[in-house]
Structure 1
Amino acid sequence: MYVRDAMSTVVLTIGPAHTLRQAAHLMAARRVGAAVVLDADAGGLGILTERDILNSLGAGENPDRETAQTHTTTDVVFAAPEWTLDEAATAMVHGGFRHLIVLDDREPVGVVSVRDIMRCRSAARERAATAVPA
């Protein structure tokens, strides 16, 4: 199975000036755990995750004053749609993160999470268990 089979094509894109409260609201409304942060001035993509927001709140920071820019991970590992799920899982384990932005021709086309990978693997096991032998 490949990243393209597992990834969510619902890509929430926000700007660096969004507050953490705004980002959390948008993430909750879309039911996603990460937002792609597009910073044209900095020339790239970053990712803001639910964990970033949680860490800020846990540190006592004000979600109405803190911006995505301050909490965005910019040294992002990107996945390609043709990566295998094993390649994506390995990148996540080595990097210590749970989301990968999926790029196709340098454009974000999806986000794949640990949950997405587990969902696909579980469905594949279920299909294999119920398959009728030939």
Structure 2
Amino acid sequence: MLVRDAMSTVLLTIGPAHTLRQAARLMSARRVGAAVVLDPDEGGLGILTERDILNAVGRGLDPDRETAQAHTTTDVVFAAPEWTLEEAAAAMTRGEFRHLVVLGGREPVGMVSVRDIIRCWLPRRAEVPAGAGAGAGALT
């Protein structure tokens, strides 16, 4: 199976001047874990993830003052739609990240996440094993 089969083609794109709170609000509303950050002045393309926002807030930074630009990863590993899911998973493992921006030519055409890959690899009606799910492993 290929990245094009698993990727989401609906991208959340934000600018570098968006605050972290604005980015988080948009990501939450779209139910996505990452946004593509396009800088029209610099022509750059980056990614801002939920982990980037979490790390900033965890360090005590103000999400209303901090901008996406200050927390965007610009050293991005991109995937091609023709990559296999194994190639995408290997790139994510090597880089220790959970999202890949998919480029068609020089333009972003999608995003693939670890969750997308798992959905493709699991049988359609995979049952949750006994004891798994909410509260699994919790001490009582």
Q: Do these two structures clear the TM 0.5 threshold for a shared fold by scoring above it?
A: yes
In the other structure, the counterpart of 2:10 is: 10
Q: Which amino acid aligns with 1:50?
A: E
In the other structure, the counterpart of 1:100 is: 100
In the other structure, the counterpart of 1:33 is: 33
Q: In the aligned structure 2, how far is the partner of 1:38 from the partner of 1:69?
A: 10
Deviations 1:73-117 (A, max 9, x none): 000000000000000000000011000000001111100000000
Deviations 1:45-77 (A, max 9, x none): 000000000000000000000000000000000
The normalised TM-score by structure 1 is 0.91
In the other structure, the counterpart of 2:131 is: none
The normalised TM-score by structure 2 is 0.87
Q: In the aligned structure 2, how far is the partner of 1:45 from the partner of 1:101?
A: 10
How much does 1:123 deviate? 3.3
Q: In the aligned structure 2, how far is the partner of 1:101 from the partner of 1:24?
A: 18
How much does 1:42 deviate? 2.3
Pairing 1:108-127 to 2, within 5 Å after superposition: 108-123=108-123
Q: Which amino acid aligns with 2:96?
A: G
Q: In the aligned structure 1, how far is the partner of 2:124 from the partner of 2:102?
A: 22
Structure 1, gaps ≥5 residues long: 127-134
Q: Kindly, what percent of the aligned residue pairs are identical?
A: 79
Q: Which amino acid aligns with 2:98?
A: R
How much does 1:10 deviate? 1.4
Where is the helix percentage greater, Structure 1 or Structure 2? 1
How much does 1:44 deviate? 1.3
Q: Which amino acid aligns with 1:26?
A: L
- Equivalenced residue count is 126
Structure 2, gaps ≥5 residues long: 127-140
- Alignment of 1:20 onto 2:20: yes
How much does 1:124 deviate? 6.4
Q: In the aligned structure 1, how far is the partner of 2:23 from the partner of 2:10?
A: 15
Q: Which secondary structure does the structure 2 equivalent of 1:91 belong to?
A: helix
